[in-house]
């Protein structure tokens, strides 16, 4: 009986540790895809938008997300160097399906609708990213990645506020 209980505890601890590692990889995967989407969609906005404020926002998002991408790479390297397992965290090198679909919609948006579509996509992407980063900064298991999430969160929130202000201006919902 005691042997069975001990074995069950050990199995639960092992599966919890594996689950925590996969949560970190899931965060890294989603965060890197989100980051790529923000950069690529903002580059598209620089090419397609005729609105100076939208272009300014896009430039800021590109700069901030390139910095965030470097921060994530550094945090991953620190985490991998400290890991006692052979399993290493890997950033995603292509967009997840939802990000790819949003980017494709922006690429095919009518010129007259582009700014509104871009701002809607940015709002949606930032809501998703803020939720992801809040969760990991509070519940993450890997210290360097957790600190990265915590440090990046204010920039994501600033972007979301800026996007919402521009969207309100575009749609005439100024309050």
DSSP string, 35-81: HHHHHHHHHHHHHH---HHHHHHHHHHHHHHHHHHHHHHHHHHHHHH
CA separation for the pair 118, 161 (Å, rounded): 15
**Short-list 160, 158, 124, 152, CA closest to 136:** 152
Per-residue model confidence (pLDDT) at position 13 = 36
Confirm whether 1 is domain-assigned: no
Confirm whether 10 is domain-assigned: no
Per-residue model confidence (pLDDT) at position 85 = 79
Work out the number of other CB atoms within 10 angstroms of the CB of residue 98: 15
Per-residue model confidence (pLDDT) at position 45 = 98
Confirm whether 12 is domain-assigned: no
Confirm whether 6 is domain-assigned: no
Per-residue model confidence (pLDDT) at position 173 = 65
**What does the block give as tokens for 75?**
């945090």
Using alpha carbons only, what angle is made at residue 162 by residues 155 and 152, rounded to the nearest 5 degrees? 10
Domain of 48 in residue numbering reads as 23-171
Confirm whether 53 is domain-assigned: yes
Confirm whether 3 is domain-assigned: no
Confirm whether 4 is domain-assigned: no
Query: Structural domain tally of the chain?
Result: 1
Per-residue model confidence (pLDDT) at position 132 = 95
Per-residue model confidence (pLDDT) at position 84 = 79
Confirm whether 11 is domain-assigned: no
Residue 153's CATH number: 1.20.1260.10
155, 68 in Cβ contact below 8 A? yes
pLDDT in tens, the chain (175 residues): 444 333 333 333 333 333 244 499 999 999 999 999 999 999 999 999 999 999 999 999 999 999 999 999 999 999 988 887 778 899 989 999 999 999 999 999 999 999 999 999 999 999 999 999 999 999 999 999 999 999 999 999 999 999 999 988 877 765 4
**What does the block give as tokens for 81?**
């160097």
């Amino acid at each position: 009986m005691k042997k069975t209980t001990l074995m069950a505890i050990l199995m639960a601890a092992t599966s919890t540790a594996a689950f925590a590692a996969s949560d970190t990889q899931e965060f890294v995967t989603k965060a890197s895809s989100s980051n790529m989407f923000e950069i690529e969609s903002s580059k598209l906005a620089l090419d397609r938008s005729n609105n100076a404020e939208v272009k300014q926002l896009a430039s800021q998002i590109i700069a901030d997300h390139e910095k965030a991408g470097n921060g994530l790479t550094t945090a991953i390297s620190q985490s991998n160097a400290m890991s006692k397992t052979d399993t290493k965290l890997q950033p995603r090198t292509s967009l997840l399906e939802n990000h790819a679909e949003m980017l494709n919609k922006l690429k095919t948006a009518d010129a007259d609708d582009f700014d509104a579509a871009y701002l809607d996509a940015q709002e949606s992407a930032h809501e998703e990213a803020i939720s992801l980063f809040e969760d990991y900064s509070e519940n993450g298991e890997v210290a360097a990645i957790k600190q990265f999430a915590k440090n990046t969160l204010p920039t994501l929130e600033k972007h979301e506020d800026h996007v919402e202000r521009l969207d309100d201006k575009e749609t005439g919902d100024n309050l």
